[in-house]
Amino acid sequence: MNLLPDRLLAGYRAFSEGRYLQETQTYRTLAREGQAPETMVIACCDSRAAPETIFGAGPGDLFVVRNVANLVPPYNPDGDFHGTSAALEFAVQALRVSNIVVMGHGRCGGIKAALDPSAEPLSPGDFIGKWMSILEPVAAGVSGNELMTQSERQTALERISIRTSIHNLRSFPYIAERERRGELTLHGAWFDIFTGELWAMDPASGDFQRPLVDVDKEEPVPSSDPADDAAA
């Protein structure tokens, strides 16, 4: 019996014979000198939205924390177990990252659960329900909106949750302070699994717009020629 699933062993073999060989020096330098990533990403656990894949990151590039629905809880030093807050503390206070990106994604199961809090919990502990209650104040406003379709509510809450997480990031005193000093920038992004598009949040308005890298790829819109109309 294999100690790890076959798929993982095959993947590791490909890594050790390919990428690791190409990047051995990078790994060794990082091992000797320690990591110094400039960017922290807070992403969802969803297997389809891996930040390292989406951003083409190599070893040492990104400091990543993933949790259900890429949420940042409000600053609460009196709480018990805070995996995400501990990762934030290390990234900001020890690694001194310059950027934090909260990256949400389409079709997020956690967000779907937040839109339907009356659904049967997956276990008696209802850890997902408790975790998603971080979004309770904003989720109620979206889930009760009868004018929107289910998919519109889903996308809306995915994006509102990113703004909420950025708001919560600023509740950590050292994050607010480093942002005020211009040493740290907070970003929002949203990944569409189906199209592969990455939308970036405008920090002033909070709106999500397709980033320049995507706009650059677009074909120029042909100018309309009155002769075409005449021919048709």
DSSP 151-163: HHHHHHHHHHHHH
| Cβ neighbours for 11, distance < 8 A, ≥ 6 positions apart | none
Contacting residue, 40, 41, 42, 44, with Zn ion by CB under 5 A: 44
Distance in Å, CB of 102 to Zn ion, minimum: 12
By CB under 5 A, is residue 103 in contact with Zn ion? no
List the interface residues with Zn ion, window 108-137 (CB under 5 A): 108, 110
Measured from the CB atom, the residue of 37 and 110 that comes closer to Zn ion is 110
Q: Which listed range, 14-22, 94-102, 103-111, 210-218, lies at the site for Zn ion (CB under 5 A)?
A: 103-111
Contacting residue, 46, 54, 62, 164, with Zn ion by CB under 5 A: 46
Measured from the CB atom, the residue of 108 and 160 that comes closer to Zn ion is 108
Distance in Å, CB of 209 to Zn ion, minimum: 21
How far apart are alpha carbons 99 and 184 in whole angstroms? 5
Q: For the chain, what is the total number of helices (H) and then of strands (E)?
A: 12, 6
| Cβ neighbours for 151, distance < 8 A, ≥ 6 positions apart | none
Measured from the CB atom, the residue of 158 and 186 that comes closer to Zn ion is 158
Measured from the CB atom, the residue of 75 and 158 that comes closer to Zn ion is 158
Instruction: Look at residue 217 and give its three-state secondary structure.
Output: coil
How far apart are alpha carbons 3 and 134 in whole angstroms? 38
H runs (alpha helix) in the chain: 6-17, 19-22, 24-33, 51-54, 83-89, 109-115, 127-132, 136-143, 150-169, 173-180, 212-215, 226-231
Q: Which listed range, 9-17, 107-115, 121-129, 172-180, lies at the site for Zn ion (CB under 5 A)?
A: 107-115
Measured from the CB atom, the residue of 40 and 184 that comes closer to Zn ion is 40
Q: Which listed range, 90-98, 100-108, 122-130, 176-184, lies at the site for Zn ion (CB under 5 A)?
A: 100-108
Distance in Å, CB of 66 to Zn ion, minimum: 9
How far apart are alpha carbons 17 and 97 in whole angstroms? 31
Phi then psi dihedrals of residue 166, to 5 deg: -65, -40
Q: Which listed range, 3-11, 39-47, 141-149, 203-211, lies at the site for Zn ion (CB under 5 A)?
A: 39-47
Give the footprint of Zn ion on this chain (CB under 5 A).
44, 46, 108, 110
